[in-house]
Amino acid sequence: MFNIMTAVDGSPNSLQAVQHVVQLVQQGLRAHVVVAHVQKEASFLELATQDSELIANASVEAGMDLVAPALALLQAAGISHEVEIRLGDIYASLLDIAEEKACGLIVLGATGESMLGSILIGSVSREVARHSRVPTTIVKMPEVLEADEIDGDISQGDTAM
């Protein structure tokens, strides 16, 4: 079976990527989905002042909470899936997961909530795509309609015949 890894961080952008994967499978791609989430490792100060196992467990629990909406989408669509949660460098860990799980495709959500961010893709998406050995799809959020389009006040010059 073809494995697809999708990285999920709980953002609407990452859920859009999961929805893209669901569409691929619904259109006939036979695939197993690896839902990947990476938490940054605890700082030296956190490790020095708290139990490292407790911190690691809390990170895994937080990761499971963040991937829950993505899992719900996959379960509702009846798509075979598994979850991989890691601690460490985000983009390197995502690439490791894709390689370990023999994924043939990586699907990521693009970031971009600022004006500059809407032009550029996020640094994690960019680095994964740049260093991936397999095809990588970056899914952008759908365009938001301008206020005039929502109100129906589209000027004559904007209509296509």
Residue 83 has pLDDT above 50, yes or no: yes
Q: Which of helix, strand or coil describes residue 27?
A: coil
Residue 25 has pLDDT above 90, yes or no: yes
Q: Give the pLDDT score at 46.
A: 53
| Token pair recorded at residue 156 | 């004559």
Q: What confidence category does residue 154 fall into, taking pLDDT thresholds of 50, 70 and 90? A: very low
> Which amino acid does the sequence have at 20?
H
Q: Give the pLDDT score at 124.
A: 85
Q: Which of helix, strand or coil describes residue 6?
A: strand
Based on the number of CB atoms within 10 Å of its own CB, is 115 exposed (0-12), middle (13-18) or buried (19 or more)?
A: exposed
Classify the phi-psi angles of 83: left when phi > 0, otherwise alpha if psi is within -120 to 50, otherwise beta: beta
The string of pLDDT tens digits covering residues 111-144 is 644 444 444 456 888 899 999 999 999 998 776 4
The string of pLDDT tens digits covering residues 28-76 is 999 999 999 998 765 455 555 566 666 566 667 878 889 999 999 999 9
